[in-house]
Amino acid sequence: MLDADPRLHTGDCSTGRADNPNMKQALTVRDAHVPGIIPWALQMRSISREDPERVVRSVTGAILGCGGWVLSRSASDEGLIDILFEFERQSCLEIYSILIAAGVELSQSAHIRFTELCQCTRLVRKDCSEEIVSIDLEIQTFAMNEGKDLAAPAPH
């Protein structure tokens, strides 16, 4: 799986073993109270056909507008954007929606993780709504250059 990072933990609603051997074991309630372990620390990949500057502005503004915190953001000359942000778990549906509305096309794995997060949050809302979710979002941008020759070198 390309999106998996062994240093990150994925939370789960259940306390039993995963039915799929490729899935990580769920954290227990005891694990959630251990300093340094974030039950929902996710790494996600996505693409966007928007201009990188516009993507950074719209995604950052949308995260802040939903009560989230942008911890870091960076962009490369190749159009790769990395945004590390956190939010209270009770806002997961809003965060998921604003990413889509901002023109971010999440990978299949990212959609599955967000769906799992939102469903688990809905099922155990009272127990976890104030937990913090941390997402490291990588966005590869492919800006649509209307009327420009894509093969021509960029001016220096």
Mean of all residue pLDDT scores within the chain: 76
pLDDT on residue 80: 96
Which spans in 3-124 are helix H? 29-32, 52-65, 92-101, 108-123
What pTM was computed for the model? 0.69
Domain assignments of the chain as residue spans, ordered by start: 41-141
- Interval 106-137: pLDDT, tens: 999 999 999 999 998 888 767 776 789 999 99
Q: What is the rounded radius of gyration, in angstroms, for the C-alpha atoms of the chain?
A: 17
